[in-house]
Structure 1
């Protein structure tokens, strides 16, 4: 990430991820407009980062599409909400092929911790229904981890 790219990440993506996590916690819903905004502002980030249409942007779009299709399968079997699937696909548009696996691993770890905490809470309260896990929080943590790590790394290199 060079030039204005970190600025675009902080100004556009970080607030969107925080808003998505907060909204998912409160309402168990990630608005389609928010996911669309995350996806549609990715080209501004690509431009600021200086990515070439071929092969960089083509690879990013292809990976985001593949990830969206993969997680659509999780939605189809009831393992994930539709807003979560859309958010993963939109966020993947902001990740390079090197960043995407890191985001997914951090997301999976955060999601596992979040699910465990929600299950314990549910059992302690003796609630009979299945808990709804606000997985948008885990997705946001994965994205924030990558974005903030990139910004901190750049800051350390330029000092």
Structure 2
């Protein structure tokens, strides 16, 4: 398998992992650690296959993931996010350039608004007690799938 095919296979694997995350977050309200770990462990292989495995590039990706984890850990401490969401954002930070990742976070935020509205209205219509549990992993995963697929559909940017 040549490197370009390996790159595409890894991006496809990332998309599949994110689709599984959508399913598990809807069905069980859980983002499994083994999925997040697989995303993290596949990132350096992706760097190598895409020809970006260098100290400067790897350092930037790891620094972005650490900063992401730190910032979103504050949201976790404030009970605005769950731990799986924090870990998933941090794992995705390893896959995309800083500008692409910031865009991913913004897209996830907008999608998160729609996910929140949908699940809050659904919770209210079913007359369930207590606060609605919002599976924010859906928005994060959809934003990740968008980030993976965007270069294939946008040949102008």
TM-score, normalized by length of structure 2? 0.91
Partner of 2:16: 15
CA distance in 2: counterparts of 1:15 and 1:52, whole angstroms: 23
Deviations 1:47-86 (A, max 9, x none): 1111142322211110111011111111111111111111
CA distance in 2: counterparts of 1:152 and 1:87, whole angstroms: 24
Partner of 1:6: 8
Q: How many residues align?
A: 153
Please report how far the alpha carbon of residue 100 of structure 1 lies from its aligned counterpart in structure 2 after TM superposition.
Answer: 0.4
Partner of 2:56: 55
SS at match of 2:4: coil
CA distance in 1: counterparts of 2:49 and 2:24, whole angstroms: 28
Deviations 1:104-152 (A, max 9, x none): 1110011110001111112222222101111111110110001001223
Q: Where does 1:32-71 land on structure 2 (aligned, <5 Å)?
A: 32-71=33-72
Deviations 1:28-49 (A, max 9, x none): 0011111111101100110111
Partner of 1:120: 121
Partner of 1:111: 112
In structure 1, runs of 5+ residues without a counterpart are none
In structure 2, runs of 5+ residues without a counterpart are none
Cα pair 2:44 2:53 within 8 Å, conserved: no
**Over aligned residues, Cα RMSD in angstroms?**
1.6
Please report how far the alpha carbon of residue 99 of structure 1 lies from its aligned counterpart in structure 2 after TM superposition.
Answer: 0.9
Write out the 4+ residue segments of structure 1 that deviate beyond 4 Å after TM superposition.
none
Cα pair 2:120 2:132 within 8 Å, conserved: yes
TM-score, normalized by length of structure 1? 0.90
